[in-house]
Homo-oligomer: A and B are copies of this chain.
Amino acid sequence: MRIGELAKATGIDVETLRYYERVGLVQLPARQANGYRAYGQDAIERANFIRHCRTLDMGLGDIKRLLDFTSKPDAGCFDVNHLLDEHLARVRAKLKSLRTLEQQLARLRTQCDAGHRAADCGILQDLVAAAHGEACACHPSDGNASLSKRKARE
The interface of chain A, by Cβ under 8 A from chain B, is: 11-13, 16, 44-46, 48-49, 51-57, 66, 69-70, 72-78, 80-81, 84-85, 87-88, 91-92, 94-95, 98-99, 101-102, 104-106, 108-109, 112-113, 115-121, 123-124, 127-128, 130-133, 136, 138, 140, 145-149
Contact = CB atoms under 8 A, between A and B. Distances in A.
Contacts of A57: 101, 145
A36 to B, nearest CB: 23
Contacts of A11: 146-148
Most central of A53, A94, A105 by chain B CB within 10 Å: A105
Nearest to A102: B91
A80 B45 contact: no
A76 to B, nearest CB: 5
Top 4 A-B pairs ranked by shortest CB distance?
Answer: A73-B119, A77-B121, A48-B131, A78-B115
A85 B69 CA distance: 44
